[in-house]
Amino acid sequence: MTERPKELTLAEQAASSYECRACGYVYEPSKGDSTANIPSGTVFEALPETWRCPVCGVRRSQFVNIGAADVASGFAENLNYGLGVNRLTPNQKNLLIFGALVLGFLFFMSLYGLS
């Protein structure tokens, strides 16, 4: 058995961000906290007890879970479905859907032309 490559799991990618109720600072697990030498990818729950808000210094207990701000719900689950379409930006996706509709319409019309 070889060791698994060091990659973030979906759960880690979708880790919740926490907002400081005192000053509004948002701890994002994907960024970590460079001022406290917290490496990126550290979930809030894994922060040391001594960790304080890097902006105003309040305790961890003053932070509230605001969810995974940068991950739309269902996005992670759907990421690898549909030929990678979900990796596209919404604009690209709309373009693709529109293009498919136009192609489908042209195909439909060509069938009409043949009959």
Q: Quick one: which of 20, 38, 47, 68 contacts Zn ion (CB under 5 A)? A: 20
CA distance 53 to 64: 12
Q: Which residues contact 29 (CB under 8 A, 6 or more apart)?
A: 12, 15, 16, 17, 40, 41, 42, 43, 44
CA distance 1 to 20: 43
Q: Quick one: which of 8, 10, 11, 23 contacts Zn ion (CB under 5 A)? A: 23
Task: Establish if 22 lies at the interface with Zn ion (CB under 5 A).
Answer: yes
CA distance 17 to 44: 7
Task: Establish if 71 lies at the interface with Zn ion (CB under 5 A).
Answer: no
Task: Establish if 25 lies at the interface with Zn ion (CB under 5 A).
Answer: yes
Cβ distance to Zn ion smaller for residue 22 or 79: 22
Task: Establish if 44 lies at the interface with Zn ion (CB under 5 A).
Answer: no
| Structure token digits, residue 29 | 């697990």
End-to-end CA distance of the chain: 60
Which range touches Zn ion (CB under 5 A), out of 6-14, 51-59, 89-97, 107-115?
Answer: 51-59
For the CB of residue 62, give the shortest distance to Zn ion in the complex, in Å.
7
Where on the chain is the footprint of Zn ion (CB under 5 A)? 20, 22-23, 25, 53, 55-56
